[in-house]
């Protein structure tokens, strides 16, 4: 089993070496691809130094050496990867020694195209810890609730299952066949400012046969610090709704143009209309909600049904 680990790098000088070393500990890792995205700190200097120290480390930059964002940076890594399998790692996070234990066996089944597990949390700063716990409460293990594979994973992520599966798993815990990504033209949406990972994961779960791996204990760790972007977006704030709207719009457009089954398309459409309403302001918000609810009564049962009629926090 040969794996390419893709690490997007932007202003991660304080954490980068630990992330890289955590990937190099595995003999299965054939290459660690550092995709540097025009950092303003010492990240590029550290990347160059690490590349000189180990032949398995490959430094890549965008064609113009500019800043392109997380989506395009990961996409560049996918295109540069040479191994049969691809794994992702954020530059401020790290792998645990059990990272690929389940994968070694599960990928013996050629039907399995991707495997994922649970992500732990390490609090690096007190401010980061406070922001994280305010948003995510005490949910320090990001995982799903039961073992599953294939269509059950897609339905679980979509909230289409009668059981609570979990709405998300982290890219740090995903290992996927590179051929499956290329075959299905699965790349990250460069137009999304955040939530590119959620968008990618749901599309991946539809097109590829995924399987849960180690979900009861962490196989990688997320470092929580003062500069974590996702924790700074307050729940139910205008920017929160705006980001959710862009995500749901991307998923609905993808489903509409890819022949996704009607029952899934309808669910994605309702989620899109629901958060679209919640992201609006003024009288237009209420009119849009009423018109949409008349046309689609199921809208009253969607995730954002209450937020749609409530004022947005400032």
pLDDT-above-90 percentage for the chain: 68
Beta bridge partners of 218: 118
What was the pLDDT predicted at 191?
95
Say what the pLDDT of residue 100 is.
98
Identify whether residues 190 and 271 lie together within a single domain. no
193, 163: one domain? yes
When pLDDT is cut at 50, 70 and 90, the band that residue 286 belongs to is low
**Residue 314 belongs to a domain:** no
| CA–CA distances in Å: residue 139 to residues 136, 156, 222, 254 | 6, 19, 12, 30
Predicted confidence at residue 231, as pLDDT, reads 63
Residue 280 in this model has a pLDDT that exceeds 70: no
Q: Are residues 20 and 59 in the same domain?
A: yes
CA separation for the pair 222, 115 (Å, rounded)? 18
Question: In the prediction, which pLDDT does 242 show?
Answer: 84
- Dump the DSSP string for the chain: --EEEEEEESS-TTTHHHHHHHHHT-TTEEEEEEEE---SSSHHHHHHHHHHH-TTEEEEE-TTS---HHHHHHHHHHHH--SSEEEE--TT-EE-TTTTHHHHHHTTSTT--EEE-EEEEEE-SHHHHHHHHHHHTT--SB--SS--BTHHHHHHHTT-SSS---S---GGG-EEEHHHHHHTT----TT-SS-HHHHHHHHHHHHS-EEE---SSEEEEEEE-TT-TGGGS-TTSHHHHHHHHHHHHHHHHHHHHTT--HHHHHHHHHHHHHHHHHT--SHHHHHHHHHHHHH-GGGGGSTTTTGGGSPPP-
What is the number of structural domains in the chain? 2
294 and 205 in a common domain? no
3-state secondary structure of 127: helix
Query: At residue 312, does pLDDT exceed 60?
Result: no
Last residue of a domain, one of 213, 232, 251: 232
Where does the pLDDT of residue 313 fall: very low under 50, low under 70, confident under 90, or very high at 90 and above? very low
Q: Which two tokens stand for residue 134?
A: 């305010």
Domain that holds residue 109: 3-232
Q: Which of 82-91, 125-134, 226-235, 240-249 has the lowest mean pLDDT?
A: 226-235
C-alpha closest to that of 147 among 113, 102, 177: 102
Residue pair 25/106 in contact (Cβ under 8 Å)? The answer is no
- Check which CATH number belongs to the domain holding 105 and give it: 3.90.550.10
Q: Are residues 208 and 268 in the same domain?
A: no
**193-208: buried (b, 16+ CB within 10 Å) or exposed (e) per residue?**
ebbbbbbbbbbbbbbb
Which of helix, strand or coil describes residue 7? strand
Of the pLDDT bands very low, low, confident and very high (cuts 50, 70, 90), residue 71 is: very high
Q: Are residues 286 and 216 in the same domain?
A: no
The CA-atom distances, in angstroms, between 231 and each of 129, 131, 235, 279, 304 are 10, 6, 9, 19, 20
149-197 confidence digits (pLDDT tens):
999 999 999 988 778 898 789 999 999 999 999 999 999 999 998 899 9
Does a structural domain hold residue 81?
Answer: yes
The answer on pLDDT for 314 being more than 50 is no
For residue range 24-66, list pLDDT tens digits in order.
999 999 999 999 999 999 999 999 999 999 999 999 999 999 9
pLDDT over threshold 60, residue 303: no
* Residue 237 in this model has a pLDDT that exceeds 70: no
- The answer to whether residues 211 and 268 belong to one domain is no
Q: SS3 of 3, please?
A: strand
User: Does one domain contain both 164 and 282?
Assistant: no
pTM of the predicted model, to two decimals?
0.89
Mean residue pLDDT of the chain comes to 88
- Split at pLDDT 50, 70, 90, the class of 9 is very high
End of a domain among 182, 214, 232? 232
Specify whether the CB–CB gap between 91 and 35 falls below 8 A.
no
Q: Is the pLDDT of residue 308 over 70?
A: no
Give the lowest-confidence range in 9-13, 247-251, 284-288. 284-288
Q: Say whether both 262 and 156 belong to one domain.
A: no
- 141-155, 204-218, 275-289: least confident range: 275-289
User: Do 200 and 285 belong to one domain?
Assistant: no
Q: Are residues 55 and 75 in the same domain?
A: yes
pLDDT > 70 fraction of the chain, expressed in percent and rounded: 84
Give the CA angle between residues 309, 264, 196 to the nearest 5°.
75
> 79 or 232: whose pLDDT is higher?
79
Largest distance between two CA atoms of the chain: 64
- Dist CA 8 CA 264 (whole Å): 32
Residue 236 has pLDDT above 80, yes or no: no
Which of 181, 205, 232 lies at the terminal end of a domain, its last residue?
Answer: 232
Residues 140, 254, single domain; the answer is no
Q: 215 vs 288, which has greater pLDDT? A: 215
128: pLDDT confidence band, cut at 50, 70 and 90? confident
């Amino acid at each position: 089993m040969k794996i390419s680990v893709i690490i997007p790098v932007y202003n991660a000088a304080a954490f980068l070496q630990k992330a890289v070393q955590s990937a190099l500990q595995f003999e299965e890792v054939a290459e660690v691809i550092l995709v540097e995205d025009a950092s303003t700190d010492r990240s590029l200097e550290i990347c160059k130094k690490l590349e000189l120290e180990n032949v398995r480390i490959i430094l890549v930059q965008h064609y113009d050496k500019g800043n392109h964002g997380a989506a395009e940076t990961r996409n560049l890594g996918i295109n540069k990867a040479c191994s049969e399998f691809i794994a992702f790692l954020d530059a401020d996070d790290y792998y645990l020694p059990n990272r690929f234990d389940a994968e070694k066996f599960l990928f013996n089944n050629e039907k399995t195209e991707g495997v994922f597990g649970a992500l732990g949390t390490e609090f690096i700063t007190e401010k980061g810890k406070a922001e994280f716990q305010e948003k995510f409460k005490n949910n320090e293990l990001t995982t799903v609730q039961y073992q599953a594979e294939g269509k059950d994973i897609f339905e679980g992520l979509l909230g289409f299952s009668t059981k609570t599966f979990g709405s998300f798993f982290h890219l740090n815990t995903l290992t996927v066949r590179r051929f499956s990504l290329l075959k299905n033209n699965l790349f990250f949406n460069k137009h999304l400012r955040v939530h590119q990972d959620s968008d990618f994961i749901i599309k991946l779960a539809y097109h590829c046969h995924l399987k849960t791996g180690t979900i009861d204990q962490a196989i990688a760790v997320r470092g929580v610090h003062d500069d974590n972007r996702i924790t700074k977006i307050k729940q139910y704030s205008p920017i929160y709704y705006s980001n959710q709207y862009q995500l749901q719009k991307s998923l609905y457009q993808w489903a509409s143009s890819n022949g996704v089954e009607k029952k899934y398309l309808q669910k994605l459409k309702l989620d899109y209309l629901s958060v679209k309403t919640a992201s609006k302001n003024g009288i237009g918000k209420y009119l849009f909600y009423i018109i949409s609810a008349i046309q689609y009564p199921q809208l009253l049962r969607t995730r954002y049904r209450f937020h749609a009629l409530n004022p947005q926090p400032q």
